[in-house]
Structure 1
Amino acid sequence: MEKKNENKPGAEPLRGRPAKGKEKLDHSINVKLTEADFKKVMEKAEKLGLKATQYAREMVLKGGVKSRFTLEELDLMRKLSGEANNLNQLAKRANQAGFVKVGNEILVVLEWIKALFNDR
């Protein structure tokens, strides 16, 4: 669905992102904030992984912002996923070699997981 440049007959199709249409944000509201309030808004938006304008828009329209995972929580989930993979590998080795040989390694991984949750 190419759109032709209507200004010139026989011209090449227009390039770039298509127009947003009905979803285009045409209106703005200016808000004055103190330095402290501005920093709070910026910190909260950054913590949620949003731009300040997105954060403010959701606060105004919805009365709150649906919390997304913070960077810290995403890092924690990534680490936990890695440890789950390690635990699965240990379980496989335990089934192959016998549980006694792998038992100590499993205890080390479990202690690491406990420490991961206690550090929060």
Structure 2
Amino acid sequence: MREIAKRVSLRLDSTEYAHLKQLSIDTGLKMEPVIRRLIVGAELRPRPPGELTELLRQMSGVAVNINQIAKVANASGFARMEDIAHIKMMQGMLWRAVKEL
């Protein structure tokens, strides 16, 4: 970890402080890291929505299911129609979840 050697005191009016606080809330960072990133010209990105974690978990589960079905299909030489229908149903659920974000 790098050493922080210098300390800077900063005075802000209420509008500037409110803007800094809003940036902090939007990015999920404390005010000090927001100021540091602004100084070096880094792009501040908003924090991803909380639902993103659940969506990624669901997508991972779908990927695992598809991989298992593909493994069985490769071993047996065919895929069951009910497995394909299950994949399509899960894909539809994920698309709906993505659109809601």
Deviation, structure 1 residue 105 = 0.9
Deviation, structure 1 residue 37 = 2.3
CA distance in 1, matches of 2:37, 2:25: 15
8 Å contact 2:69–2:83 — kept in the other structure? yes
Structure 1 counterpart SS, 2:68 = helix
Aligned to 2:18: 36
Deviation, structure 1 residue 52 = 1.7
Aligned to 1:78: 57
Greater per-residue helix proportion: 2
Alignment of 1:65 onto 2:46: no
How has the CA–CA distance of structure 1 residues 80 and 68 changed in structure 2, closer, same or farther, with 3 Å as cutoff? farther
Identical amino acids, percent of aligned pairs: 22
Aligned to 1:112: 93
Q: How many residues align?
A: 96
Q: Which stretches in structure 1 are left out of the alignment for 5+ residues? A: 1-19
Higher normalized contact order (CA 8 Å, seq sep 6+, divided by chain length): 2
8 Å contact 1:90–1:102 — kept in the other structure? yes
CA distance in 2, matches of 1:89, 1:69: 33
